[in-house]
Amino acid sequence: MNKGIVTLSAAAVISSAFASPALADTYIVKSGDSLSKIASAHHITVTKLKQMNKLTSDSLRINQKLTVPDNKITIKKANAVTYTVAKGDSLIKIANKYSLTLAELKKLNNLKTASIYIGQKLIISQTKQTTVLTLPKPANTEGKTESSAYLVKSGDSLWKIASQFKTSPQSIIDFNHLKTDALTVGQSLLIPKSGTAPAPAPPAEAKPNPLPAKDASSVIAMAKKMIGVPYSWAGASPDGFDCSGFIYYVFKNSGYQISRVSAATYYDLGKSVATPKPGDLVFFSTNPASSALISHMGIYIGNGQFIHASSSKGVQISSLSMSYYQTRFAGYRSL
């Protein structure tokens, strides 16, 4: 008998472009402001600022609104897990199998009736997230451009980007003060013009550990209080959790400012960790057909164990030595 097939697809859309008119913001003039001061704060020239606002003089008035450059773009990403209808299936049978109500399943697929057919693809899980990226600000130079901003795409390498912009990989490394030649999708780079000197490195700043040991203990204690809470797709409360909703709830209620995103996005946002400490995050790729896709996560609690919201048993503690997790392990990250 044919069996249904579960697959996952992802799509990303950049919702704003690099053109200056699209990347614009509004600034309200305050007492003590001048065109030079405002231009410097937004990394443009006085000439450019006057052009953007069609100004014919340097005079300003308090509460005057000026158009200034914005350096943010928004990336919208949607992940969908689909099920292929097999012989003998019914909509309610599929809904029960994936812990959905009939209404939820129909809403996910915009179905008006319960009629389905063999081979039909149904969405059984969907996650959407929006990521705002801040681009590097261009140098404030009069009359010439020293660099341009570039957003790393899938398949890019330093050599490929350098060839595209007729510069060298080392120039890009130096100009952006990169510690490695590894790139990540969505990473923003300043691309120097040929012969442009690298920008001065910012002064080193001592940054606190984002998750000190004492705070890791409070995170783990909060997580353990949730043991036994059932699994609920898209759930992020003690009424029910999915894996990323569990992380969001635990960290937020331990005093951290954290966004509610998918396991894949937490993986992308985190810092790679070779040797995990309690409080770090552990990630898995549970789909054998797509080993690069992150689809599950938990909190490492030490001694080879982690706590997570399992789709079968809810919040529980599991061992990384279990064959299921060993074969699906994707790595550790710290937020």
Mean pLDDT over residues 122-134, rounded?
70
Helices (H), the chain: 35-41, 46-53, 91-97, 102-108, 158-164, 169-176, 213-225, 243-252, 263-269, 323-326
Q: Tell me the mean pLDDT in the region 202-207.
A: 41
Quote the percentage of the chain above a pLDDT of 70.
Answer: 75
**pLDDT value of position 12:** 40
> Is residue 296 annotated as a catalytic residue, yes or no?
yes
Contacts of 44 (CB under 8 A, 6+ apart): 52, 68, 69, 138, 140
Least confident of 13-17, 64-68, 76-80, 211-215: 13-17
Of 328 and 189, the one with more pLDDT: 328
What is the pLDDT, as a whole number, of residue 290?
65
Q: Round to whole Å and give the CA distance between 64 and 48.
A: 17
Mean pLDDT of 10-28: 50
pLDDT reported for residue 314: 92
In the chain, pLDDT over 90 holds for what percent of residues? 19
Q: Is 332 helix (H, G, I), strand (E, B) or coil?
A: strand
Least confident among 23-32, 93-102, 169-178, 305-314 = 169-178
Mean pLDDT of 95-122: 88
What pLDDT is stored for residue 73 in this prediction?
A: 57
User: What torsion do the CA atoms of 259, 263, 264, 266 make, to the nearest 10 degrees?
Assistant: 40
Q: 209 versus 262: which is more confidently predicted? A: 262
Q: Among this protein's residues, is 177 annotated catalytic?
A: no
Please give the backbone phi and psi of residue 57, each rounded to the nearest 5 degrees, phi first: -145, 175
Lowest pLDDT segment from 1-10, 18-27, 204-213: 204-213
Q: Which of helix, strand or coil describes residue 263?
A: helix
State yes or no: pLDDT of 326 exceeds 70.
yes
Distance CA 303, CA 319 (A): 9
Catalytic residue among 42, 43, 177, 243: 243
Structural domains of the chain in order of their starting residue, each with its CATH number = 6-13+74-132 (3.10.350.10), 145-205 (3.10.350.10), 213-334 (3.90.1720.10)
Q: How confident is the model at residue 20 (pLDDT cuts 50, 70, 90)?
A: very low
Which pLDDT value is given to residue 145? 41
Instruction: Report residue 154: phi and psi, to 5°.
Output: -60, 130
Tens of pLDDT, residue by residue over 38-75, are 877 777 778 888 888 898 888 889 999 988 876 665 56
42 catalytically annotated: no
Q: Which of 42, 43, 177, 296 is catalytic?
A: 296
Residues 6+ apart with CB under 8 A from 192: 146, 147, 167, 171, 172, 175, 198
Nearest to 121, CA basis, from 60, 173, 80, 152: 80
Give Dmax (Cα) for the chain.
79
- Three-class SS of residue 316? strand
| Distance from the Cα of residue 25 to its chain's centroid | 23
